[in-house]
Amino acid sequence: MAGPWLREGYAPASDTAVPGHPAGYSADSGLVEAVNTALILAKPLLLTGRPGTGKSELAERIAWELGLGPVLRFESQSLTEAQELFYRFDLIAQMADAQLRGSNGPRPPQHFLSFGALGKAILHANPQAHAELIDWDRRNTQAMQIGEGQTEDAPIGTARRSVVLIDEIDKAARDVPNDLLNGIERMAFRIREMRNHLVSAPNDDTLKPIVIITSNSERDLPDPFLRRCVYYNIPDPTQEKLAEILRLRVPAALGGPSGGAAGTGAIDRLAPFYQDLLSFFVEYRDERAAHLAYRPGTSELIDWANALARYQADAQGDLKANAALIGRSLGTILKHQDDRQTLISRLKRVGLDLGTGTA
């Protein structure tokens, strides 16, 4: 049994019913084998797949299942440089501070330093050697963490492995993928602003970060990068798999004729309304003739089912019995105006006439 879910900046969550808890993440057998292969080889796992198929959420599941600390996240942007994955130095703040302090002398460069996801992972793998930098990073990070429910991170005393999520790597500059893998393999980087101070950790596979990299395939990634990763494409889940996901993520959806008993099919364990909702969703998602501008994914189905549960939909009814609530919640799956008429027409085919004014 895995321990509490450790979320960055928040108190540990032991209750698996907490929204977003990774206990509700359901991976297919191919994804499980890809994760195991990446762990055996100590290589990053590159994931592709349509938005909403659970690429980013996998990192939380791995961290929770292996009892590791909070996931260290990095969101790639068009201006992202490889160095930002390791550290950032606020030169403008340093210059302004020097002017304000005048004869009092400048603050040490560590005062303007913050570490990225991979930088933190390397620090955490060798805390004894980098205790001062870890302390500075904690202070600088916590100074920016102003929010209800956030808690102070516990000091790191012993070496530990981290899970690093690098989201949407295809958005970053072309040299970023290769540069970040070089840093992972060496388990080291240098801080230029501190006279090229070397930050390193033992080149030990048991301490190397577990790196999950996602891509939406907006552009091709370099071949040398691909050769150094384990790869898996997460397909659209089948109807049976989606039923299993609803069972785990939307408790209100349970209540089929089987009473939720183990050993029965996942679809049969859903209440009648959610069975009908699931069937409608899959047919709409997979309707090739519709040429949808935006095909909804798993996350949209979860949102739709949760919204209807919050609206107190009649779980033992059918689509018609909950037509008004369906009309109120279409914004969870309708994400492009060009798809509006297609969705309305598809609802009419199953007996729901919501009118042209419903969204």
Beta strands 87-89 and 113-115: pairing type?
antiparallel
Determine the Cα–Cα distance for residues 64 and 20; give it in Å rounded to an integer.
Answer: 12
pLDDT (tens, 9 = 90+) of the chain, 359 residues, equals 578 999 887 889 998 888 889 998 989 999 999 999 999 999 999 999 988 788 999 999 999 999 999 999 999 887 778 889 999 998 888 888 888 887 777 788 888 889 999 999 999 999 999 999 998 888 777 655 544 444 445 556 789 999 999 999 988 887 888 888 888 888 899 999 999 999 998 888 899 999 999 998 777 888 989 999 999 999 988 999 999 999 888 988 987 655 555 556 789 999 999 999 999 999 999 887 668 899 898 999 999 999 999 999 999 999 999 999 999 999 999 999 999 999 999 999 888 887 543 43
Determine the Cα–Cα distance for residues 46 and 212; give it in Å rounded to an integer.
Answer: 6
* Phi, psi of 217, deg, nearest 5: 60, 35
**Smallest Cα–Cα separation from 31: which of 226, 225, 222, 241?**
241
Q: What is the dihedral of CA 150, 155, 158, 159, to 10 degrees?
A: 60
Q: What is the dihedral of CA 167, 30, 238, 292, to 10 degrees?
A: 40
Determine the Cα–Cα distance for residues 120 and 125; give it in Å rounded to an integer.
Answer: 9
pLDDT, tens digit, 9 for 90 and up, residues 81-126: 888 999 999 888 888 888 888 777 778 888 888 999 999 999 999 9
The 3-state DSSP composition of the chain as helix, strand, coil percent (nearest 5) reads 45, 10, 45
CA distances to 3, 107, 154, 181, 216 from 227, rounded to whole Å, are 34, 44, 37, 11, 18
Pair 161, 70: CB distance under 8 Å: no
pLDDT, tens digit, 9 for 90 and up, residues 210-250: 999 999 877 788 898 999 999 999 998 899 999 999 988 89
Domain ranges for the chain: 22-233, 239-349
Q: Given phi > 0 = left and psi -120 to 50 = alpha, else beta, which region is 7?
A: beta
Give pTM, 2 decimals: 0.83
Tell me the CATH number for domain 22-233: 3.40.50.300
Q: Name the token pair of 213.
A: 């990299």
Q: Name the token pair of 182.
A: 């070089």
CA angle 62, 244, 57 (to 5 degrees): 30
Q: How many CB atoms lie within 10 A of CB 350?
A: 14
